[in-house]
């Protein structure tokens, strides 16, 4: 029989080698990671075909200021953008007011600022448009002939393409547009505008900001459109950021937007000219500070819509209706108490 000691010693050396390797790996993992660029994702809703290229220079400028690349992510619907913000797939987004409510309530979002159009307006209205050659000249005409009309609206999460017109034109009047029109379809603001201009739809929803933009983007087709109704004005589209962003990044993002296109100490004439050219391509003049308070009017409209639906819900007993309507009224009162003059 041979001496077992060499075998024991060899195994011991092997174990030591394995232990040393493990320790080395652990040590490497515990070392501070090398600094890497953090890409920030900026979500936009594809409401117009040229939006990506028009927003890209601004996103690049934001990335330069933050010291991190800013990548644009495009969404064909509002729900996708809200999901992406909730999943931290995007950290900044250009949204509508109704979608911003979802982002604030369910996706860790907060309103940072809002857009100002080329005429200096930071409010806008939903609109109903028809072809200039149409004999539909009012909402009354549209309702009277609804059974023969093809009607187009926006995404159900669109403020001007859906919420405002449906509330002011239909819900408050006890009308269900799904049952009165010959045909109801939906699309982006641009698709609906072009459908009416080309005679492929009789009437469609839109908004005052988009109409100003379409006048520049599609001057000939713009001549084929007439506006037959406008809603009360609401705040323009907000820029929303995730609350979880570091405070320093949020502050620099806020400063970037609210100072973009405006003179500032240390900003050269060439830089100012560049920023204003980027804004002009977006058909904006700048951005102004805002907060979640700008969403209050839209929240109230949503609750009024809910109240109307509950009052007409035949599946609920009288007692259930009263309880649920009272709950909605209490929510309305609570939100109204948050409104102060000049808050948004």
Q: What is the DSSP string of 91-152?
A: SEEE--HHHHHHHHHHSSEEEEEEEEETTS--EE-EEEEEETTSS--SHHHHHHTGGG-EEE
What CA–CA distance (Å, rounded) separates 32 from 15?
Answer: 28
Q: What angle do CA 225, 281, 203 make, to 5 degrees?
A: 20
pLDDT at 2: 44
Average per-residue pLDDT for the chain = 87
Residue ranges of alpha helices (H) inside 198-236 are: 208-217, 219-222
Residue 28 lies in a domain: no
Residue 344 lies in a domain: no
The pLDDT of 87-98, averaged and rounded, is 96
Q: Which of 300, 314, 296, 304 is nearest to 171 (CA)?
A: 304
- Is 315's pLDDT higher than 80? yes
Residues 301 and 318 in one domain: yes
CATH of the domain at 191: 3.40.190.10
Split into its structural domains, the chain has a count of 3
Bridge partners (DSSP) of residue 114 are 238, 288
Domain containing 157 equals: 126-232
Check: CB of residue 55 under 8 Å from CB of residue 282. yes
Structure-token match 């830089």, residue found = 271
Check: CB of residue 152 under 8 Å from CB of residue 196. yes
The pLDDT of 192-197, averaged and rounded, is 97
pLDDT at 28: 37
**pLDDT confidence band for 15 (50 / 70 / 90):** very low
The pLDDT of 241-265, averaged and rounded, is 96
Q: How many CB atoms lie within 10 A of CB 155?
A: 21
Residue 166 lies in a domain: yes
The pLDDT of 79-95, averaged and rounded, is 96
What sign has the CA pseudo-torsion 212, 218, 219, 222? negative
Residues 103 and 170 in one domain: no
What CA–CA distance (Å, rounded) separates 77 from 41?
Answer: 17
Residues 225 and 243 in one domain: no
pLDDT at 336: 83
Residues 279 and 153 in one domain: no
Residues 47 and 101 in one domain: yes
pLDDT at 30: 41
Residue 232 C-alpha from the chain's centroid: 20
**pLDDT confidence band for 64 (50 / 70 / 90):** very high
The pLDDT of 80-97, averaged and rounded, is 96
pLDDT at 7: 37
> What share of the chain has pLDDT > 90, as a percent?
71
Residue 9 lies in a domain: no
Among 124-128, 256-260, 310-314, 338-342, the minimum mean pLDDT is found in 338-342
- Is 334's pLDDT higher than 90? no
If one compares 90 and 8, the residue with the highest pLDDT of the two is: 90
Check: CB of residue 121 under 8 Å from CB of residue 87. no
Residue 168 lies in a domain: yes
- Is 335's pLDDT higher than 60? yes
pLDDT at 49: 67
- Is 16's pLDDT higher than 70? no
Residues 86 and 150 in one domain: no
pLDDT tens-place string over residues 107-135: 999 999 999 999 999 999 999 999 999 99
**pLDDT confidence band for 27 (50 / 70 / 90):** very low
């Amino acid at each position: 029989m041979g001496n077992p000691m060499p075998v024991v010693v060899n195994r011991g050396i092997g174990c030591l080698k394995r232990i040393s390797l493990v320790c080395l790996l652990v040590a490497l993992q515990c070392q501070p990671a090398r600094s890497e660029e953090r890409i920030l994702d900026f979500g936009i809703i594809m409401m117009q075909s040229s939006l990506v290229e028009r927003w890209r220079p601004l996103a690049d400028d934001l990335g330069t200021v933050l010291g991190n690349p800013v990548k644009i992510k495009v969404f064909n619907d509002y729900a996708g953008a809200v999901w992406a913000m909730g999943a931290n797939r995007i950290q900044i987004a250009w949204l509508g007011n109704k979608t911003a409510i979802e982002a604030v309530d369910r996706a860790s979002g907060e309103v940072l600022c809002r857009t100002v159009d080329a005429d200096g307006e930071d409010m806008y209205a939903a609109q109903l448009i028809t072809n200039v050659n149409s004999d539909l000249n009012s909402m009354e005409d549209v309702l009277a002939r609804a059974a023969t009309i093809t009607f187009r609206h926006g995404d159900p999460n669109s403020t001007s393409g859906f919420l405002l017109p449906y509330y002011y034109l239909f819900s408050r009047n006890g009308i269900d547009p799904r049952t009165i029109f010959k045909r109801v379809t939906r699309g982006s603001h641009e698709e609906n505008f072009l459908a009416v201009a080309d005679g492929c739809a009789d009437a469609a929803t839109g908004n005052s900001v988009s109409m100003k933009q379409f006048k520049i983007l599609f001057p000939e087709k713009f001549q084929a459109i007439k506006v037959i109704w406008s809603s009360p004005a609401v705040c323009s589209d907000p820029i929303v950021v995730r609350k979880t962003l570091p405070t320093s990044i949020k502050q620099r993002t806020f400063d970037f937007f609210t100072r973009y296109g405006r003179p500032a100490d240390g900003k050269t004439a060439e830089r100012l000219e560049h920023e204003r050219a980027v804004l002009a391509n977006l058909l904006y003049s700048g951005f102004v500070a805002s907060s979640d308070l700008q969403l209050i009017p839209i929240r109230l409209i949503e609750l009024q819509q809910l109240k109307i639906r509950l009052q007409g819900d035949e599946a609920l007993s009288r007692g259930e209706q009263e309880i649920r309507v009272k709950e909605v009224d209490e929510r309305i009162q609570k939100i109204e108490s948050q409104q102060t003059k000049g808050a948004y």
